[in-house]
Every structure is written in structure tokens, then in C-alpha cells.
């Protein structure tokens, strides 16, 4: 190590001085790409396909957390010699991105229709490209060690090929069909939405009680009266029994119309008057009832959310305008019984633009989730996707969800799943690969040559393509994909090596949107599972437990935090204190405190590398001191625990152990001990421990550890071998286990002396005398003399004897059978000491009583395990001894 290097070791770690350079070094090394690592052919495979961020803007804390978790797993496995692939990418996020661009061009006075499909799409592509570049840069800032050479986009040509092939496959299998059904329609997006793309919001409105022929019935939407074709009651409702099956003439605002009375179980007799008007065109439940009872459908609301031409003078009004107008007219006509104010109900909203959803009948493409098919061994999509979680499919083990409780969630959702509407009337996305010529339909990538085929105008639900993400990304080009025997075959090395992926790491909020869709698409198209494990992280909330949102102004931007406190601290703040599936609260203070942690590690390393220097020679067992053995044992157990924690996704536990080890065991005790204990082995031990510690920390805080590694090693920490416990087993194997914990006794004595000094306000510079009577432990305590005198105790004269007389004018401590006297002379306040000792005596006596009580209990002796009883007996002995010694001392105090 040169002098120059030492000087470069700044007093504090300044992340921004290093992070960019370090990332470039990693990236240019090529080590993110497993093909470059000279791994043996038999190396175990490990793969994660990154959940692709939407190209709608920038990354937030949730993304940072997701990237941190995945990067930890990836770095851990890479260091463990796995052929490790982390494949990055972005999602075109059809509706979301289109909506965003529509807002932007609106400010320019443009609309997508005024621009036309081609020009509009060019604008969206441009926006998506910019977004992509920003996002890629941000993913790098977070330190993600993903393989950029394999980057994918859900809307690129390779992924488009997969979409077209799978669409065709499902169509030919009869699983994709076109049909006219009531769908969730967003009048603003001008498109359908899937059931789970609809959100609900509480609203206080009015409930209108209408005079409705022979009925009085309640509705929140009187304007839909124009589309009514029936009245429904519960089959068991005696009030209406005689009316079921009959037809009645109803007075409406546009004249009289006829409805049929039907009996249906879905009607709640407790609600309103127990009779409900049925509008099959504009309500899911009503449309289902209409199908069951063969009731006609009358559509009265169009795709703009406005009343249609069949609505007479109300035509062209929005539903809200029509409601007001119709209510006014009905009141005039005496058709309103009364109006109930403050009626609580829920509005359905579009999850992308918050517009009120209008259910209406529309001709759309659907995936049939209940149809049994030969290509799924005679099972339906719903059945196979359920079994994949329950017991496993295709001879594979079941997919594990962490935490397990979400499996139930998934299964419930799958059980209730209705046919999935996959067509969207937006422009940005994968175009439905269907062509029409008169009555003829052709499904395929391009139209047949004969004649005028017209392509379907619609695009596909964005989740249709992201549902294929785990396998479509493993194809390098479109030509590697083919349909063979009713399955999609991907002929690529990556697919062979890395599918199924090991773990899908994502937030629990998209388990239905995405996790379920991937299982559906992969089991169907590939005949395999997409991943073995699913690890679900929680949402990141602000310090008060509220969701972060721009409108609340409580957003913590990861990039701001990276600038302020560094990437490593930001990453740690998202890991520490988190448990799977549970939300985590984040505050700037938390990130700051972890910045301190990172800096502490920096300074530990600074001290070792700069002051102690490093020495890689092998350690001589015969000269190990008590603190040496303690730190070696602590390191051994740290390696074992961090490794097993990472295998079991216990991220937080691992970081807590690392923090406690670094700050307490190493910095506060061992490092301090080495300053005064000139063991010849300390350099070697510190070198060994520091190197392994940096390796263990590396997946969590890659930048600072790599930066430190550079100071004494030319290789990349990124691809260092993960530490093993065997080196420590070799060194420690010969020692008695109890030796590892002897250092705790020394620590206890030192802390006790410091405590008394502080309590008596002994000024820091003042030297004191200490007398210890250690009985059987005298020899051991003598070996610790140097440490007891040196570690900030200010002990000048230390006397260690087996036993001796009580010492007057001194503070007395009894600990682990050792008597400690600190003669403070005039500083002693006899009364204060008496109070302190008597309080301690009372506490110890209470403690003794409780344990003796246990031991006197016959059933305790009979039932408790032997080792518990022995432990309790030992407690009694030591408590008694302490009481006796303390009592004796109090007597002499006066």
C-alpha cells in the first residue's frame, strides 16, 4: 500500500465522489453478464427477471426498494458462484402512457384524434423513449447489477412476436373469443378496462324512491330508467309473489313502457322496497339477470358517457345532466315518491384517470378462463393456475409465495375470476393480431395476400404482454420463437438456462394484475411455471404511515436521498425494519441514521487499512487472546446467519446482524481492544474479519464496500467469493466453546467501572484505583488486566486477588461472583451508596423470591425440562451470593 492511497482515505465517506465511478467500473468489467464470468458448465443457475417499470416518467421509492431487494439476491448468488442473471426492462404500460401523452398534447391544443393514429403514436414513442432513458439511468444510480446487454421492452419486436403467437394459439384453442358483453367502460380513455383496473371510492349521493307502476323502488341512478326492461324481486319475497312473471305498464318520462317482473336470488329483499328495476345494458348484475331470465337489453348510454338518440329530449346529455333533468321532470309528473339524502355508496372509477366507469355492452375480445382445453391436460386456465399454487403443476413443485398468507388471497381471486377482457380501444400497445374481410376473420401477424383485409383497430391489455415477461424476455430475437405441438417453443440458451426463473420479487399490490397473469400465460403458452418463489414486499409509506403522493406533498424522492445521503444509505433504509408483505414507514431521519452506519463502516475500514495495515498471512492459533477468539467466533456465526437469512429472504434480519456486529462487536470492543493489546495476530485477524465483513455487506451496500475494497485489493468485490465459515472452523475448532464468551466477563467489569465513574461524575482525566476479588476466576481476570485498565476506564492501579477484606470508602459492585471495589475516597457519598446498594438488594431479593417460588412448585419440578430447572437453580445460587455479599458491604458502610 502506497502512502498516496492512505492519504486518499477521506475522513468521512462522500458517496457522490465514488458512486458513479464504481458503477462504471462494474459495468465495463462485463461482470453483470453471466456469460463473461468463466463459470463452469455445471454452475447452478439463478435468475430474476426485473419487474419492468412503466415508461410513464420516473422511479419512486417503491422502485428503489424493489431494485434493492433484487440486487441483494443477485449479488449474493453471483458471489456464491451461481450463473446469475438479472434481466432488466421496461413496460409500455399502454393506457397509463397514452393518458400521460394525451395530457401533454392537450396543453398544445392537440388531441390524439386531431393528430391521427400514426403521428400520435410517434409522439408516444418519443415520450416512452425519453422516459426509458431516465429510468435506465435511475436504475443504475440505485446500483442495480443487472445485465443491460439483455434489456427488453414489453412492446419491442421480440415481445410482439410472443404476443402474436400466443394470441393465435389461444384463439385456435377457443380460449380467446370475441363477444358482445357488458364491460367496464372508461368514457375518457374511450376504452374497456379489466375488472381489477376499476377502483372504488366512497361517495355521498341521493337515493331516489320512484313510483314505478305498482311498485315503489329505490335507485341511485334514475336516468337508467330509460333502459329498464324488467323489475326483479327475491323469489322468497311474499310481498311480490303474485306479481312474478306478470308484465306491467310503467309511466316514464318519455311515455309508457312495459316491464316483466322476474324473481332472482341476487336481489336483496332487505334493501329498499325489495324490488329493483333492471337495466341490463348498464349494470353487470342486471345483465347477468337478463341473461338468466331472457330479458331484452336496451342500450341508452354511449361510449362518450352520454345519453343516446333513443333518449328523446335527453339525448346528448351526460348521465349527470340527464339525471337532474329526468328527476325534475319526474317530480313534475308526480313519479318521485321521495328522495333520501346522504346515501352512502361507492363510485367505480378508472384506475388511470379517475373517471367514473360506465358499464355498457360492447363487442370485445375475451379470454375464457373456464373452458377446459386439451393443451392444459383437459383443465381450464382457472384450474391450472389454482393448482400451480396449491399443489404444483407439470411435475413441478408448487409456487411458494412469501409471505404465505397471500396464497389464500391469490386463490380466492382466481376462484372468482371472470372472463378476462383483453381488448382496449386505445392506440398505444400491441395491436390485436386479427384481420377482417367481410364476414371472414383471420388471426395472425400479417394479413393474407388475397384482397382487402382490414386490421382490428384495438390494442391488447398491457397485462397480456407483461404476463409473458418471464419467458418472452429470454428470447434473443423473434426467430427463436415457434409454435410446436400447441405450445410456444423458445429456442435460446437463455431460455434453457434460466427458465423458470427463481424468484419473482414484487409488491403485493400487483399480485392480481401481474403475478396471476404471469402464471396464467406461462402455464398455458409454455407448459411450465414462470417462477419458483414469489417474494412480496410491502408498500413504502411516509413516516406517519400514509401513502406517498404528490397531492399530499409527502413524497420522498429516492434520487434526492441518494444525493443527500448516498445510495447505500437509501437502500438500507428500505431494507432494515421491513418484513415480507408488510408496509414500511420511511423518513429522512431514518436514511440519515443509516448514512451514519455506512460512514461507520468506512471509518472502521479506514482505521484498519490506514493504521493497522493489512496482512493476509495465516493466523497462528496458539497466540489467540480472549478478544481474538470472541471476534472470530462472532464472525463465524455472522457468516452462517447472514447466509441463511438471505436464503430465506430475511433481508432485515441480515442487515441488523451486520450492523450490530460492525458497530458493537467490531468497532466498540474488538477494535478498541486491539489498540492496547499488542497481540501479534491482530493484524491478520483484522484483515480476515474486515475482508469477510465487506463481502457480507456488499449485496446490501455495494458502493461503499467496493470503494473500500479498492483501497487494498485490485480485484472486484462484486465477483469475490462469498465468505465461508470453514476458515473459522479451522482456527477455532480446537477451543472449548466457553472460551468464546469469556470476553463478556471482561466487558461486564469494564462497563461497571465506567458506569460508576459516570454516576459519581469522576472527571474523565482523573485516574482511579480498582480492587477485584475474583475467587476461582482470579487467573482469568489477571489475564484481562491490560484491557480493564485501558478501555476508557481510567484505572491506574488495579489489584486482583482471590479474596480480601472489604474496602472502606469505596463503591462496591458484585458481578458474576466477582467483587469489585472502587475506592473513591472523599468522592463517596455514603448515604447515596447505601441507597443504591439497598435498591439493588431489594431488586435481587425480589428476583430470588420469584425463582425460589418456581422451584418450590412441585408441578414445575415434575414438568419442566431438566435444563430449565438446572438453570433456575444456578440463578438462585448466584442471587443468594450477591445478596450476602451486598448485605455484608452495606453493614460496613457505616
Partner RNA sequence: GGGUUUGUAGCUCAGUUGGUUAGAGCGCCACGUUGACAUCGUGGAGGUCUCCAGUUCAAAUCUGGACAGACCCACCA
Q: How far is the CB of 3 from RNA (least distance, A)?
A: 16
User: Would you say 523 and 389 are in contact if contact means Cβ atoms under 8 Å apart?
Assistant: no
Q: How many CB atoms sit inside 10 A of residue 453's CB?
A: 17
Q: Which is nearer to RNA, 480 or 652 (CB)?
A: 652
Query: Which helix (H) or strand (E) segment is 729 a member of?
Result: helix 726-732
DSSP E strand boundaries for 5-143: 45-49, 83-87, 89-90
Question: Interface residues for RNA in 237-256 (CB under 7 A)?
Answer: none
User: Which set of grid coordinates corresponds to residue 833?
Assistant: 451508596
Q: How far is the CB of 831 from RNA (least distance, A)?
A: 19
Q: Which residues pair with 347 in a beta bridge?
A: 201
User: Which set of grid coordinates corresponds to residue 43?
Assistant: 454452475
User: Would you say 52 and 87 are in contact if contact means Cβ atoms under 8 Å apart?
Assistant: no
Question: What does the alpha-carbon distance between residue 567 and residue 705 come to, in Å, rounded to a whole number?
Answer: 12
Q: Which is nearer to RNA, 38 or 859 (CB)?
A: 859
User: Would you say 50 and 491 are in contact if contact means Cβ atoms under 8 Å apart?
Assistant: no
The window from 78-86, 374-382, 543-551, 730-738 that contacts RNA (CB under 7 A) reads: 543-551
Judged by CB under 7 A, does residue 17 bind RNA? Answer: no
Q: Which is nearer to RNA, 417 or 460 (CB)?
A: 417
Question: Interface residues for RNA in 671-700 (CB under 7 A)?
Answer: 671-672, 675-676
CB under 8 Å to 730, separation ≥6 — which residues?
none
Q: Which is nearer to RNA, 412 or 491 (CB)?
A: 412
Question: Interface residues for RNA in 314-373 (CB under 7 A)?
Answer: 345-346
Q: Which is nearer to RNA, 343 or 780 (CB)?
A: 343
Q: How far is the CB of 660 from RNA (least distance, A)?
A: 6
Question: Interface residues for RNA in 762-791 (CB under 7 A)?
Answer: 763-764
Q: Which residues pair with 488 in a beta bridge?
A: 483
Site string for RNA, 67-106 (x = CB under 7 A): ----------------------------------------
Judged by CB under 7 A, does residue 18 bind RNA? Answer: no
Taken in order 420, 426, 430, 435, the sign of the CA dihedral is: positive
- 27, 383, 656, 785: residue in contact with RNA (rule CB under 7 A): 656
DSSP E strand boundaries for 466-537: 481-484, 487-490, 501-507, 531-537
**Total number of residues binding RNA (CB under 7 A)?**
89
Q: Which is nearer to RNA, 416 or 737 (CB)?
A: 416
Site string for RNA, 605-644 (x = CB under 7 A): -xx--xx---------------------------------
Q: Which is nearer to RNA, 104 or 849 (CB)?
A: 849
Q: Which is nearer to RNA, 172 or 843 (CB)?
A: 843
CB under 8 Å to 291, separation ≥6 — which residues?
none
Q: How far is the CB of 517 from RNA (least distance, A)?
A: 14
Instruction: Give me Rg for the CA atoms of the chain.
Output: 37
- 2, 3, 4, 12: residue in contact with RNA (rule CB under 7 A): 12
User: Would you say 423 and 364 are in contact if contact means Cβ atoms under 8 Å apart?
Assistant: yes
Question: Interface residues for RNA in 196-225 (CB under 7 A)?
Answer: 196, 200, 218-221
Question: Interface residues for RNA in 695-734 (CB under 7 A)?
Answer: none
Q: Which is nearer to RNA, 81 or 361 (CB)?
A: 361
Site string for RNA, 851-880 (x = CB under 7 A): ---x--x-xx--xxx--x--x---x---x-
Q: Smallest Cα–Cα separation from 703: which of 69, 23, 67, 59?
A: 23
Question: What does the alpha-carbon distance between residue 812 and residue 819 come to, in Å, rounded to a whole number?
Answer: 7
User: Would you say 703 and 19 are in contact if contact means Cβ atoms under 8 Å apart?
Assistant: yes
Question: Interface residues for RNA in 49-68 (CB under 7 A)?
Answer: none
Q: Which is nearer to RNA, 22 or 586 (CB)?
A: 586
Q: Which is nearer to RNA, 112 or 747 (CB)?
A: 747
User: Would you say 112 and 73 are in contact if contact means Cβ atoms under 8 Å apart?
Assistant: no
Q: Which is nearer to RNA, 430 or 691 (CB)?
A: 691
Q: Smallest Cα–Cα separation from 796: which of 768, 773, 771?
A: 768
Q: How far is the CB of 65 from RNA (least distance, A)?
A: 14
Question: What does the alpha-carbon distance between residue 136 and residue 27 come to, in Å, rounded to a whole number?
Answer: 13
Find the angle CA(345)-CA(349)-CA(353) to the nearest 5 degrees.
150
Q: How far is the CB of 319 from RNA (least distance, A)?
A: 12
Q: Which is nearer to RNA, 714 or 761 (CB)?
A: 761
Q: Which is nearer to RNA, 718 or 752 (CB)?
A: 752
- 178, 431, 564, 653: residue in contact with RNA (rule CB under 7 A): 653
Question: Interface residues for RNA in 545-584 (CB under 7 A)?
Answer: 545, 547, 577, 579, 582-584
User: Which set of grid coordinates corresponds to residue 532?
Assistant: 419458483
Burial class (CB in 10 A: 0-12, 13-18, 19+), 173: middle
User: Which set of grid coordinates corresponds to residue 593?
Assistant: 441514521
CB under 8 Å to 222, separation ≥6 — which residues?
208, 210, 323, 326, 327, 330
Q: Which is nearer to RNA, 90 or 662 (CB)?
A: 662
- 155, 401, 488, 604: residue in contact with RNA (rule CB under 7 A): 604
Query: Which helix (H) or strand (E) segment is 820 a member of?
Result: strand 818-823
DSSP 382-394: HHHHHHHHHT-ST
CB under 8 Å to 614, separation ≥6 — which residues?
1, 608, 683, 686, 687, 690, 712
User: Which set of grid coordinates corresponds to residue 179?
Assistant: 363477444
The window from 133-141, 450-458, 600-608, 780-788 that contacts RNA (CB under 7 A) reads: 600-608
Judged by CB under 7 A, does residue 751 bind RNA? Answer: yes
- 564, 600, 727, 801: residue in contact with RNA (rule CB under 7 A): 600
Question: What does the alpha-carbon distance between residue 132 and residue 92 come to, in Å, rounded to a whole number?
Answer: 9
Q: Which is nearer to RNA, 276 or 624 (CB)?
A: 276
Q: How far is the CB of 215 from RNA (least distance, A)?
A: 12
Q: What is the 3-state secondary structure (H, E, C) of 792-817?
A: CCCEEEEEEECCCCCCCCEEEEEECC
Q: How many CB atoms sit inside 10 A of residue 466's CB?
A: 26
Site string for RNA, 254-293 (x = CB under 7 A): ------------xxx-xxx-x-xx-----xxx--------
Judged by CB under 7 A, does residue 884 bind RNA? Answer: no
User: Which set of grid coordinates corresponds to residue 884?
Assistant: 450476602
Site string for RNA, 831-850 (x = CB under 7 A): ------------xx--x---
> What are the helix and strand counts (H, E) for the chain?
30, 31
Q: How far is the CB of 86 from RNA (least distance, A)?
A: 27
Judged by CB under 7 A, does residue 603 bind RNA? Answer: yes
Q: How far is the CB of 324 from RNA (least distance, A)?
A: 16
- 111, 129, 755, 870: residue in contact with RNA (rule CB under 7 A): 755
Q: Which is nearer to RNA, 413 or 780 (CB)?
A: 413
Site string for RNA, 477-516 (x = CB under 7 A): --------------------------------x--x----
Q: How far is the CB of 12 from RNA (least distance, A)?
A: 4
CB under 8 Å to 239, separation ≥6 — which residues?
233, 274
User: Which set of grid coordinates corresponds to residue 329?
Assistant: 321532470
Q: How far is the CB of 523 from RNA (least distance, A)?
A: 22
Question: Interface residues for RNA in 387-416 (CB under 7 A)?
Answer: 405, 408-409, 412-413, 416
Q: Which is nearer to RNA, 143 or 274 (CB)?
A: 274
Amino acid at each position: 500500500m502506497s502512502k498516496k492511497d492512505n492519504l486518499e482515505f477521506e475522513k468521512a465517506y462522500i458517496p457522490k465522489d465514488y458512486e458513479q465511478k464504481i458503477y462504471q467500473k462494474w459495468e465495463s468489467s462485463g461482470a453483470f453478464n453471466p456469460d463473461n464470468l468463466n463459470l463452469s458448465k455445471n454452475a447452478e443457475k439463478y435468475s430474476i427477471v426485473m419487474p419492468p417499470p412503466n415508461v410513464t416518467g420516473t422511479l419512486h421509492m417503491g422502485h428503489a426498494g424493489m431494485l434493492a431487494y433484487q440486487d441483494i439476491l443477485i449479488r449474493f448468488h453471483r458471489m456464491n458462484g451461481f450463473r446469475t442473471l438479472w434481466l432488466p426492462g421496461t413496460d409500455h404500460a399502454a393506457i397509463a402512457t397514452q393518458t400521460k401523452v394525451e395530457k401533454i398534447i392537450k396543453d398544445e391544443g392537440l388531441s390524439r384524434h386531431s393528430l391521427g393514429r400514426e403521428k400520435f403514436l410517434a409522439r408516444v414513442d418519443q415520450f416512452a423513449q425519453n422516459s426509458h432513458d431516465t429510468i435506465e439511468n435511475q436504475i443504475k444510480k440505485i446500483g442495480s447489477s443487472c445485465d443491460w446487454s439483455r434489456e427488453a421492452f414489453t412492446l419491442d419486436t421480440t415481445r410482439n412476436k410472443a404476443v402474436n403467437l400466443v394470441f393465435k394459439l389461444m384463439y385456435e384453442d377457443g380460449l380467446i373469443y370475441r363477444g358482445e358483453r357488458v364491460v367496464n367502460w372508461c368514457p375518457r380513455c374511450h376504452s374497456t378496462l379489466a375488472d381489477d383496473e376499476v377502483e372504488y371510492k366512497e361517495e355521498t349521493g341521493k337515493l331516489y324512491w320512484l313510483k314505478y307502476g305498482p311498485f315503489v323502488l329505490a335507485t341511485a341512478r334514475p336516468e337508467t330508467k330509460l333502459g329498464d326492461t324488467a323489475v326483479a324481486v327475491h323469489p322468497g319475497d311474499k310481498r311480490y309473489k303474485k306479481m312474478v312473471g306478470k308484465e306491467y305498464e310503467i309511466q316514464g318520462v318519455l311515455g309508457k313502457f312495459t316491464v316483466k317482473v322476474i324473481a332472482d336470488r341476487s336481489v336483496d329483499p332487505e334493501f329498499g322496497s325489495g324490488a329493483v328495476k333492471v337495466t341490463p345494458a348498464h349494470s353487470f348484475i342486471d345483465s347477468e339477470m337478463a341473461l338468466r331470465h331472457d330479458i331484452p337489453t336496451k342500450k341508452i348510454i354511449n361510449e362518450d358517457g352520454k345519453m343516446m338518440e333513443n333518449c328523446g329530449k335527453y339525448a346528448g346529455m351526460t348521465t349527470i345532466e340527464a339525471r337532474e333533468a329526468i328527476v325534475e321532470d319526474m317530480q313534475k309528473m308526480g313519479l318521485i315518491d321521495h328522495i333520501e339524502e346522504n346515501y352512502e355508496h361507492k363510485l367505480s372509477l378508472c384506475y388511470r384517470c379517475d373517471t367514473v366507469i360506465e358499464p355498457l355492452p360492447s363487442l370485445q375480445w375475451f379470454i375464457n378462463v373456464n373452458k377446459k382445453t386439451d393443451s392444459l391436460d383437459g383443465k381450464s386456465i382457472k384450474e391450472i393456475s389454482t393448482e400451480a399454487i396449491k399443489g404444483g403443476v407439470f411435475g413441478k413443485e408448487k409456487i411458494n409465495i412469501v409471505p404465505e398468507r397471500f396464497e389464500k388471497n391469490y386463490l380466492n381471486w382466481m376462484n372468482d375470476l371472470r372472463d378476462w377482457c383483453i381488448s382496449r380501444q386505445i392506440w398505444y400497445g400491441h395491436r390485436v393480431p386479427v384481420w377482417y374481410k367481410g364476414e371472414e376473420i383471420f388471426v395472425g401477424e400479417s394479413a393474407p395476400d388475397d384482397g382487402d383485409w382490414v386490421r382490428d383497430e384495438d390494442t391488447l391489455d398491457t397485462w397480456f404482454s407483461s404476463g409473458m415477461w418471464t419467458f418472452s424476455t429470454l428470447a434473443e430475437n423473434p426467430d427463436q420463437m415457434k409454435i410446436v405441438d400447441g405450445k410456444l417453443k423458445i429456442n435460446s440458451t437463455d431460455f434453457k438456462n434460466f427458465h423458470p426463473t427463481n424468484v419473482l420479487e414484487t409488491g403485493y399490490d400487483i399480485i392480481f394484475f401481474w403475478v396471476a397473469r404471469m402464471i396464467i400465460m406461462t402455464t398455458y403458452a409454455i407448459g411450465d411455471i414462470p417462477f419458483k418463489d414469489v417474494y412480496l414486499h410491502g408498500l413504502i409509506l411516509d413516516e406517519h404511515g400514509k401513502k406517498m403522493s404528490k397531492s399530499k406533498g409527502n413524497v420522498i424522492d429516492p434520487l434526492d436521498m441518494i444525493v443527500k445521503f448516498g445510495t447505500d444509505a437509501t437502500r438500507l433504509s428500505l431494507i432494515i425494519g421491513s418484513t415480507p408483505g408488510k408496509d414500511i414507514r420511511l423518513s429522512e431521519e431514518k436514511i440519515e441514521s443509516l448514512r451514519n452506519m455506512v460512514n461507520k463502516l468506512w471509518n472502521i475500514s479506514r482505521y484498519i487499512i490506514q493504521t493497522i495495515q493489512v496482512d493476509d498471512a495465516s493466523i497462528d492459533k496458539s497466540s489467540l487472546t480472549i478478544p481474538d477468539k470472541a471476534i472470530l467466533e462472532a464472525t463465524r456465526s455472522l457468516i452462517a446467519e447472514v447466509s441463511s437469512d438471505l436464503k430465506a429472504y430475511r433481508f432485515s434480519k441480515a442487515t441488523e446482524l451486520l450492523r450490530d456486529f460492525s458497530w458493537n462487536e467490531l468497532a466498540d470492543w474488538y477494535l478498541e481492544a486491539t489498540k492496547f493489546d499488542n497481540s501479534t495476530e491482530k493484524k491478520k485477524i483484522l484483515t480476515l474479519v474486515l475482508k469477510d465483513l465487506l463481502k457480507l455487506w456488499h449485496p446490501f451496500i455495494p458502493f461503499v464496500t467496493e470503494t473500500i475494497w479498492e483501497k487494498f485489493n485490485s480485484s472486484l468485490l462484486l465477483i469475490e467469493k462469498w465468505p465461508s465459515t470453514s476458515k473459522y472452523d479451522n482456527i477455532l475448532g480446537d477451543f472449548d466453546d466457553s472460551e468464546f464468551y469469556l470476553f463478556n466477563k471482561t466487558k461486564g467489569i469494564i462497563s461497571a467501572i465506567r458506569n460508576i465513574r459516570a454516576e459519581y461524575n469522576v472527571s474523565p482525566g482523573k485516574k482511579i484505583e480498582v480492587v477485584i476479588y475474583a475467587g476461582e476466576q482470579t487467573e482469568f481476570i489477571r489475564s484481562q488486566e491490560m484491557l480493564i485498565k485501558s478501555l476508557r476506564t481510567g484505572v491506574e492501579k488495579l489489584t486482583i486477588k482471590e479474596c480480601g477484606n472489604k474496602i472502606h470508602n469505596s463503591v462496591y459492585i458484585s458481578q458474576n461472583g466477582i467483587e469489585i471495589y472502587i475506592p473513591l475516597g472523599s468522592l463517596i457519598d455514603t448515604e447515596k451508596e447505601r441507597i443504591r446498594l439497598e435498591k439493588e438488594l431489594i431488586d435481587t431479593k425480589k428476583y430470588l423470591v420469584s425463582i425460589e417460588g418456581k422451584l418450590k412448585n412441585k408441578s414445575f419440578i415434575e414438568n419442566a425440562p431438566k435444563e430449565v430447572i438446572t438453570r433456575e437453580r444456578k440463578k438462585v445460587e448466584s442471587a443468594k451470593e450477591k445478596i450476602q455479599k451486598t448485605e455484608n458491604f452495606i453493614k460496613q458502610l457505616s
